[in-house]
Amino acid sequence: MGELVDKDRYQRLVGKLSYLSYTRLDIAVAVSVVSQHMHSPRETYLEVVYKILRYLKGSSGKGLLWEIFTDADWAGALEDRRSTTGYCTFVWENLVTWRSKKQNVVIRSRAEAEFRVAA
């Protein structure tokens, strides 16, 4: 398996790759594998991390652009004072998912309505 390597450096590299894998789904499985060895990283796994970094360097500009928009009205329904929340998800410029729902509780403030839709 190889010698143990600097744990802090390994964790920083894998942490950055993990964050990057949200937009680069092509590395998600490989990052998942190397992240399983965060507590006792070995040279073998560090080499895999370097291979992922070399792959990323050679394939720049191939990320996935996705956007999520959310909104909520506060007590918009006049009959029961409940809020309506909604969101839509775009991959590049294509609408992928959307939802609109009347909340099942009465919200006391606009901030709470926004928080509920984000959650």
pLDDT at 105 over 80: no
Question: pLDDT, tens digit, for every residue of 15-64?
Answer: 999 998 887 888 999 999 999 999 999 999 999 999 999 999 988 777 67
Quote the pLDDT of residue 18: 94
Question: pLDDT, tens digit, for every residue of 76-91?
Answer: 666 777 777 788 999 8
What is the DSSP secondary structure assignment for residue 38, as one 8-state letter? S
Determine the Cα–Cα distance for residues 98 and 107; give it in Å rounded to an integer: 22
Quote the pLDDT of residue 110: 65
